Structure 1
Amino acid sequence: MSLADEMLQAAMDRKPFRATMYGLPGWDDQVEDLSVEGEQALRSRIADILRRAETSDDDPVTLAVIEHQGRSIVDRIDARLVEHTVATGMNAPVNSLLLIASKLDVSQRLDRIPPYIDQAGERIRNSDRKPLRRHLHTGIQRTESFLASQRQEWEGDHSTEIRTAVAGFRDVLASVEDARGDDQPGLCWLPEGEQNYANLVRNYTTTSHTPEELHRLGLDLIASLREEYAEIGSRVWGTSDVPEIFRRLRTELLWDNEEQMVSSAVEAIARAEAEAPNWFSRMPKVGCEVRPVAEEERKTAPIAFYLPAPQDGSRPGTYWLNPLGATERSRTLSEVTAFHEAIPGHHYQLSIAAETDMHDIRRFAFIEAYLEGWGLYTERLADEMGLYSSDEQRLGMLGTDAMRAGRLVVDTGLHALGWTRQQAVDYLRENTVMPEPEINAEIDRYIETPGQALAYMVGRLEIQRLRAEAEARMGDRFDIRAFHDLVVGSGAVPLSTLDRIVTAWTASP
Structure 2
Amino acid sequence: MSLSDETFRAMMDWRPVFATVVGVPGWDDRLADLSVEGEQALRARLTDILGRVDASDEDPVAQDVIRHQATSIITQIDARLVEHTVAAALSAPVAELLSVATQVDFSQRLPAVPTYLRQAEERLLNTDRRPLRRHAVNGAAHLERFLASPKQEWEGDADLRPAFARFREVLLGLPGRDDEQAGLCWLPEGEANYAKLVRDYTTTSYTPAELHELGLDLMARLREEYAEIGSRVWGTSDVQEIFQRLRTDLLWDNANEMLSSAVEAIERAEAEAPNWFGRMPNARCEVRFVPEIDRESAPLAYYLDAALDGSRPGIYFLNPLGATERSRTLSEVVAFHEAVPGHHFQLTIAAETELSNLRKFAFIDAYLEGWGLYTERLADEMGLYSSDEARLGMLGLDAMRAGRLVVDTGLHAFGWSRQKAVDYLRENTVMPEPEINSEIDRYIEAPGQALAYMVGRLEILRLRAEARAAMGSRFDIRAFHDLVLENGAVPLSTLGNLVTAWSERI
TM-score class, shorter-chain normalisation, is over 0.9
SS at match of 1:151: coil
Structure 2 distance, partners of 1:9, 1:206, is 22
Structure 1 distance, partners of 2:126, 2:322, is 37
Structure 1 distance, partners of 2:327, 2:127, is 41
What's 1:216 paired with? 213
What is the CA deviation profile of residues 148-195 of structure 1, one whole-angstrom value per residue up to 9, with x for unaligned ones? 00000000111x2x1111011101101112x10000000000000000
The one-letter code of the counterpart of 2:452 is: A
Quote the offset at 1:303 in angstroms. 1.3
Quote the offset at 1:57 in angstroms. 4.1
Quote the offset at 1:302 in angstroms. 1.6
Quote the offset at 1:296 in angstroms. 1.6
The one-letter code of the counterpart of 1:51 is: G
Find the partner of 1:421 among 418, 421, 428: 418
SS at match of 1:412: helix
What's 2:503 paired with? 506
Find the partner of 1:328 among 325, 335, 348: 325
What's 1:185 paired with? 182
What's 1:62 paired with? 62
Asked if 1:52 corresponds to 2:49, the answer is no
What's 1:375 paired with? 372
Asked if 1:492 corresponds to 2:492, the answer is no
Structure 1 distance, partners of 2:429, 2:382, is 25
Asked if 1:254 corresponds to 2:251, the answer is yes
SS at match of 2:30: coil
Structure 1 distance, partners of 2:437, 2:84, is 18
Q: Is the 8 A contact 1:131 1:180 kept in 2?
A: yes
Q: Is the 8 A contact 1:415 1:450 kept in 2?
A: yes
Asked if 1:133 corresponds to 2:133, the answer is yes
Structure 2 distance, partners of 1:73, 1:44, is 11
Find the partner of 1:163 among 151, 161, 164: 161
Q: Is the 8 A contact 1:143 1:170 kept in 2?
A: yes
Structure 1 distance, partners of 2:330, 2:273, is 21
Structure 1 distance, partners of 2:220, 2:264, is 33
Gaps of 5+ in 1: none
Structure 1 distance, partners of 2:418, 2:103, is 33
Quote the offset at 1:128 in angstroms. 1.2
Quote the offset at 1:58 in angstroms. 2.0
Quote the offset at 1:134 in angstroms. 0.4
What's 1:106 paired with? 106
Find the partner of 1:430 among 424, 427, 434: 427
What is the CA deviation profile of residues 280-330 of structure 1, one whole-angstrom value per residue up to 9, with x for unaligned ones? 011000000000011221001121110111110001100011111111111
Q: Is the 8 A contact 2:467 2:503 kept in 1?
A: yes
What's 2:171 paired with? 173
Find the partner of 1:463 among 455, 460, 464: 460
Quote the offset at 1:448 in angstroms. 0.2
What's 1:348 paired with? 345
What's 2:272 paired with? 275
What's 1:404 paired with? 401
CA RMSD of aligned residues (A): 0.6
Structure 2 distance, partners of 1:315, 1:54, is 38
What's 1:298 paired with? 295
Quote the offset at 1:207 in angstroms. 0.2
Structure 1 distance, partners of 2:296, 2:127, is 27
Structure 2 distance, partners of 1:216, 1:56, is 40
Quote the offset at 1:121 in angstroms. 1.2
Structure 2 distance, partners of 1:390, 1:224, is 21
What's 1:85 paired with? 85
What's 2:316 paired with? 319
Find the partner of 1:361 among 345, 355, 358: 358
SS at match of 1:289: strand
Structure 2 distance, partners of 1:284, 1:117, is 38
Find the partner of 2:472 among 469, 475, 489: 475
Q: Runs of at least 4 residues of structure 1 off by over 3 A?
A: none
What's 1:236 paired with? 233
The one-letter code of the counterpart of 1:119 is: Q
SS at match of 1:454: helix
Structure 1 distance, partners of 2:250, 2:433, is 16
SS at match of 2:264: helix
What is the CA deviation profile of residues 235-282 of structure 1, one whole-angstrom value per residue up to 9, with x for unaligned ones? 000000000000100111111111111111011000000000000011
Structure 1 distance, partners of 2:129, 2:104, is 31
Quote the offset at 1:504 in angstroms. 0.2
SS at match of 2:287: strand
Structure 1 distance, partners of 2:20, 2:479, is 31
Structure 2 distance, partners of 1:38, 1:400, is 39
Structure 2 distance, partners of 1:38, 1:4, is 21
Asked if 1:195 corresponds to 2:192, the answer is yes
Q: Is the 8 A contact 1:118 1:168 kept in 2?
A: no
TM-score by length of 1: 0.99
Structure 1 distance, partners of 2:280, 2:56, is 35
The one-letter code of the counterpart of 2:154 is: W
Q: Is the 8 A contact 1:345 1:374 kept in 2?
A: yes
Q: Which is further off, 30-39 or 52-61?
A: 52-61
What is the CA deviation profile of residues 432-461 of structure 1, one whole-angstrom value per residue up to 9, with x for unaligned ones? 000100000000000000000000000000
Residue identity (%): 71
What's 1:287 paired with? 284
Structure 1 distance, partners of 2:140, 2:174, is 11
Quote the offset at 1:227 in angstroms. 0.3
SS at match of 1:302: coil
The one-letter code of the counterpart of 2:211 is: L
The one-letter code of the counterpart of 1:258 is: A
Q: Is the 8 A contact 2:4 2:58 kept in 1?
A: no
Structure 2 distance, partners of 1:91, 1:137, is 16
Quote the offset at 1:54 in angstroms. 3.0
